[in-house]
Amino acid sequence: QVQLMESGGGSVQSGGSLRLSCATSGTTYTTYSMAWFRQAPGKEREGVAVIHSGGLTTYADSVKGRFAISQDNAKNTMFLQMNNLRPEDTAMYYCAATVGRRLYYSWRMGDEYDVWGQGTQVNISS
């Protein structure tokens, strides 16, 4: 059983930075995809970035060049470094993971993930 727990959300001004963490506990798998999603009030859930076992990463166009996804396998933790934040980045951010599969082509489909965290709120003021 895998469990995910996000941390690092908060409130910053436009142009600021935040670093989100997603700590993994439980069974460790060598094949997976781990992603960050976000959902703002009244909007659909959006895939932000994904990292696959092996290190390949993909980003949504809206965050390319501003956000960076990474992982520390020794600490079983995934990160999302968010720079040059904008008010439109305001949302609840969730991490999600697959177990034993990689989602190279369907990483944006939230229903494909096996495990979700509880979310961490990010608020960006102008």
Confidence (pLDDT) at 86: 98
Q: In this predicted model, what pLDDT tens digit does every residue of 65-115 receive, in sequence order?
A: 999 999 998 889 999 999 999 999 999 999 999 999 999 999 999 999 999
Sign of CA pseudo-dihedral 83, 32, 72, 5 = positive
Q: Are strands 46-52 and 77-82 parallel, antiparallel or unpaired?
A: unpaired
Confidence (pLDDT) at 45: 97
Is residue 63 pLDDT above 90, yes or no? Answer: yes
Residue 115 tokens read as 């495990």
CA–CA dist 3, 27 (Å, integer): 9
DSSP, res 54: T
Complete DSSP assignment for 57-111: EEE-TTTTTTEEEEEEGGGTEEEEEE-S--GGG-EEEEEEE-SS---TTTTT-GG
Confidence (pLDDT) at 28: 81
**% of the chain beyond a pLDDT of 70:** 100
Distances (CA, A) of 66 to 6, 18, 26: 20, 11, 31
Is residue 30 pLDDT above 90, yes or no? Answer: no
Confidence (pLDDT) at 29: 86
107 and 35 Cβ atoms separated by less than 8 Å? yes
